[in-house]
Structures are given as structure tokens and as C-alpha cells.
A and B are shown apart, each in its own frame.
Chain A
Amino acid sequence: MERTDRREPLLIALTALSGAMVLVALYLALLGAPDANLQSETGRYAQRIIYFHIATAWVGFLAFFVTFVSGIGFLRTQDRAWDVVALSSAEIGTVFMLGVLISGSIWARPAWGVWWVWDERLTISLIQFLIYVGYLMLRSSVEDPSRRARFAAVYGIVAFVSVPINFIAIRMWRTQHPLMFGTEEGGLGPNMMFAFFFSLITFTVWYVTLMWHRIRLERLRDDVEALKLELMG
């Protein structure tokens, strides 16, 4: 517990930094970045969704990568710390993937005229989200902590296959989902890149902050379990 308390000011500072960066990223995305080269006003407004939509997807992919690496780490060492990181990251990644699906759907309505199409990119994203919901369900269904951690580690490693498939889907298949770089219609021009990369960095810092809070929660749970055992024994 002492270590957690000593780091408290650092966590508060990081949380404040994340909040400030989010405000700047919001300003850049909504006002600072230039309008996209699109005909309709609705299309130009909707285009501003992608600054946070892509950054949210990036956090989802990053979180699932961390779950994948932590799964390997756990299987190699059987160290509970890896399991805590894997769980925390999977939970954050799943929530962010939900954000990707919903914000993408809202973008699709003015851009494509429909809320949803069953094209490869969107379908893979939905499946990926469900795979990680399955990860969280698996964890809550296994009682024994060591078995739960082992099963979850294997599942987290296998589930990560969905990330590269999702990433390359728009390059492998002729999907409706636009490529955001190097295209004129619907893509990002060079003068929009600052807002875009600032959003990516902001969301990465936001992810680290959330991870810290989530890992702390899991450590508190461990303390509770240890005290319960002490009382029983």
C-alpha cells in the first residue's frame, strides 16, 4: 500500500495532464483543423469525427496488444502482475472498441447514408469487440484464480489475431471504409495531420492514465483477498 500512496501525486498529475490534453485535442478537432475537401456542409462536419474515431481505435488496438504481451508474460512467469495488466488493458480496449463502433456508425450516416453496412472492416471490428467481450466473460466465469489467469492469457494471445486482420482489412478487401492517408476524398490532408497526431498522443496518454487507475483497483482487490484469507486462516 505504501508504494501506491507514494505515487499518488504522480497519478493525480498524469490525470490532470490527460484532461488538459483532451481539451486541446477537442479544440483542434472541432475548430483548429481545417475543413475537409468535401462538397456538403454535413460531410465536412462529420469528417471531424475521424480525429477521435481513429484515436479511439488506436487505443483499442494498443490495449489488445498489451493484453497479448501480458498473456505471454504470464504464461512464461506465472506472475500475477502480468494478469492484472492483461485484464486492465482488455477492459479498457473493449470499452474503446465500443466507442469506435458507435462513432463510426454515426460518421457513416452522413457519409454513406446508412448507419451500418456489413462490409469487411465493420464486420471484423464488431467481431473483434465481441471476442474481447468474450474474454471478460471468460474471466468472470472461472472461479479458480490461477486457472482463470492461465485461460485468459491463452485467450488473450489467440484473440490478438483479430487486430492485424482488422488493420489490414481495408487494404486486403474492397471495403467501403476509407483509407485515411494518401487519398483526396475523405482522407486526411497534410494540414490536418497536426490535429490527428495530437489526438493520437492524447489518447495514448489517456490510456496510460486509465491503466494506472484500473491496475490500482485490481491491486486493492488483491489486498482484500489477502485479508480475507488472513481472517479465515
Chain B
Amino acid sequence: MSYLVAAYAVLWAISFGLVFSILLRQRRIRSELDTLRVMVEDDALPLDER
């Protein structure tokens, strides 16, 4: 029984580890994207409006 529990625990730990890793990376990239968008918008404004 313990082997069965261990095998399923490992499989789900790996699987959900992958999911969380993807979601975490997505969150970081989205945050970077938002910062860059603000910078691009600021860059597009005339110098006296920045």
C-alpha cells in the first residue's frame, strides 16, 4: 500500500510542480509585460508630457 501511495504522490507532485512552475513564470512575464507597456507608452509621449 505504501508503494502505491508513494508512486501516486510522486506523480502528482511532479505534475502539479510543472503546472505551478508554468503559472508562476506566466505571472512574472505578465508583470514584466505591464512594466514594459507603461515604459513604451511613456516613450511615445512628447518630452514635456512625460
A interface vs B, CB < 8 Å? 26, 30, 41-42, 45-46, 48-49, 52-53, 56, 92, 95-96, 98-99, 102-103, 106-107, 109-110, 206, 210, 213-214, 216-217, 220-221, 223-224, 227-228, 230-231
Beyond the given pairs A106-B7, A231-B36, 9 more chain A to chain B contacts, judged by CB atoms under 8 angstroms and listed by A's residue number, are: A30-B4, A45-B3, A102-B7, A103-B7, A210-B22, A213-B22, A217-B29, A223-B33, A224-B36
From residue 1 to 39 of chain B, which have CB atoms closer than 8 A to chain A?
1, 3-4, 6-8, 10-11, 14-15, 17-19, 22-23, 25-26, 29-30, 32-33, 36-37, 39
Q: Among the listed A49, A214, A230, which residue makes an inter-chain contact with B7, where contact means beta carbons less than 8 Å apart?
A: A49
Q: State in angstroms the CA–CA spacing of A46 and B30 once bound together.
A: 43
Q: Among the listed B1, B26, B30, which residue makes an inter-chain contact with A45, where contact means beta carbons less than 8 Å apart?
A: B1
Q: How many residue pairs bridge A and B at CB < 8 Å?
A: 84
Q: State in angstroms the CA–CA spacing of A127 and B42 once bound together.
A: 51
Q: A107 contacts B29, CB within 8 Å?
A: no
Q: Among the listed B4, B14, B33, B39, which residue makes an inter-chain contact with A220, where contact means beta carbons less than 8 Å apart?
A: B33
Q: State in angstroms the CA–CA spacing of A46 and B4 once bound together.
A: 5
Q: A99 contacts B14, CB within 8 Å?
A: yes
Minimal Cβ-Cβ distance residue in A for B8? A52
Give the interface SS of chain B, mostly helix, strand, loop or mixed.
helix
Q: State in angstroms the CA–CA spacing of A12 and B4 once bound together.
A: 31
Q: B8 contacts A49, CB within 8 Å?
A: yes
- Contacts known (A224-B29, A227-B36); A46 close to B22, Cβ less than 8 A: no
Query: Which residues does chain A contribute within 8 Å of B48, judged by CB atoms?
Result: none
For the complex of A and B, 8 pairs with smallest distance between CB atoms? A227-B36, A106-B7, A49-B7, A220-B29, A45-B4, A103-B7, A99-B14, A95-B18
Q: State in angstroms the CA–CA spacing of A223 and B34 once bound together.
A: 11
**Shortest Cβ gap from A222 to chain B (Å):** 10
